[in-house]
Amino acid sequence: MWNILEQFLLLGLLLGIIYCFFTSTFDFWKNRGVPFRKPIVLFGNFASLLLFQKSLPEGIKDMYEWFKDERYFGAFRVMSPVLILRDPDLVKDICVKSFACFTNRGIPVNSQNSLSAHLFNLEGKRWKSLRSKLTPAFSSGKLKRMFYLLAECGEEFQKLIDASSETHRPFEIRELAAKFTIDVIGSCAFGIQINALTDEESEFHRTAKKLSKPSYTATLWRMLRTAMPKLYKFLDVQVIDPEVSKFFKNVVSQMINEREEHGIKRHDFMDLLIELKNKGSLDECGSGQVCNDEDEKITEEIELDENSIAAQAFVFFAAGYETSSNTIAFCLHELALNTEIQEKTRRDIQDAIDSRNGKLSYDAIQDMKYLDMVIAETLRKYPPAPMLSRRCEHQYQIPGSKVELPVGMRVIIPIYGFHHDPDYYPDPATFDPERFTEENKRTRHPYTYLPFGEGPRNCIGMRFALLQIKVGVISFLRKHRVETCERTITPIKFSRRSLVTTSEKGFWLKIIQYS
């Protein structure tokens, strides 16, 4: 009898210790006078997301609406306190004015051979140096010179769309768009003809599918790694499929050997990485000017080996493939539901091409002002990243308050919440490109629109992504229209296991060729 009682007492003591550990931080925001929602043991305020009951966009929007009259409020991710912003002026301060305090995302990286050590995750001087050296790859001049590659991919894509329209059956638009974005990235970034449009069994295509459908375990660890970084590093968790890692490392190794052995120059993203690997610096800095002494000093600290190059190649492929194909699909979905907007977009495209002797060119795309507005509204309603976060590197006092954030505190910017706030975007569920006329944009706070982030750590590939998205949409609308069908799902149900905004059930539409 006494032994059973002892066991119950020990169990009770153990549970008590676990409970006290996981609730030890729950008075953090109360002690600082910051409004917060009462957390749940083991989950904090993120239970619906960690249990996959809601998608990330839905969860972020719900949190954003907890304290509608506050500039910011507190929450808990498992047991880690986080600050969530609602004031665009605070977003500007975090991303720009006080950027030195919030330089890093604070995403832990495991093992030296991991593909996670890429530009998106890097920190401090290493991030600053690599960012400045990679910037030339995404300049407007570079994009203009490589546009012919995009145009070639667009022409091949149009042939696939032509063939698809002849079947008179619904198509999963994201699948079609993904084939196009894989080919574009392969051609423009790495100088490889992947032929994903015609070869669905290509290794690049299979790898892309694995990236777009991560396991629930991998998604859970992606959400937990910033809340429990010590456990993440102790267990040496790898959130990238080992087969994906192996594939990219092999491809990059083969490309480096081929180019160095034969002296091949394609003036693409891979050339830039190889030059950094061999020289430790480039002839020009991101601004197009010769590096100053400080830049040169930082540059000396870069040591790019094949694993590092593979990591940069991986993030370019992963980010450019999935977000762009989703945005193309979201855009066409909305145009199918709004036929007048679709027709106006098509006229804008055709007029710009006709004025340039019937040829799709870089300059013709710059003339497509209504298409710009349509893409902007798509990214407003369906931002690729529903949120972004920064880690506090120095003690920081929130402007206009006495609240001080300690080193290591994470600040969350709820992009999806801002984009669907009726105070900034009336009737936010309505797809309305007119929100992005020059006049209407001037009436809004610029930091309520954040599809690519803001400040020095915004998306380095933003211009490339927009160009790729536009060519994809143009390829569909130049000679075709899209229509809803019996398999079209409205409203769209977001995926609960994806950290980017995407559909759970796909984007099914009919493609009709103009006679």
96 vs 127: CA distance, rounded Å: 16
- Residues paired with residue 412 on neighbouring β-strands, in sequence order: 84, 389
Q: Which residues contact 83 (CB under 8 A, 6 or more apart)?
A: 34, 72, 73, 74, 75, 398, 405, 409, 410, 411, 412
Q: Which amino acid appears at position 68 of this protein? A: K
Main-chain dihedrals φ then ψ at residue 300, nearest 5 degrees: -60, -20
Instruction: Please give, one letter per residue, the 3-state secondary structure of 5-62.
Output: HHHHHHHHHHHHHHHHHHHCCCCHHHHCCCCECCCECCCECCHHHHCCCCCHHHHHHH
What three-state secondary structure class fits 485?
coil
CB-CB contact of 489 with 173 (8 Å): no
Classify each residue of 450-464 as buried b or exposed e, where b means 16 or more C-beta atoms within 10 Å of its C-beta: bbbbbbebebbbeeb
Element (H, E) at 128: helix 124-134
H helices of 191-268, in order, are: 203-212, 216-224, 229-234, 242-262
Main-chain dihedrals φ then ψ at residue 265, nearest 5 degrees: -125, 120
What three-state secondary structure class fits 112?
coil
CB-CB contact of 475 with 158 (8 Å): yes
188 vs 183: CA distance, rounded Å: 8
CA distances from 145 to 105, 135, 460 (A): 33, 15, 18
- Residues paired with residue 76 on neighbouring β-strands, in sequence order: 81
Q: What is the torsional sign of CA 368, 370, 373, 375?
A: negative
CA distances from 346 to 50, 280, 371, 473, 498 (A): 42, 46, 8, 10, 32
Task: Give, rounded to a whole angstrom, the gap between the first and last alpha carbons of the chain.
Answer: 88
Any binding-site annotation on 392? no
506 vs 487: CA distance, rounded Å: 9
Q: Which amino acid appears at position 336 of this protein? A: A
> Binding-site residues for heme, please?
459
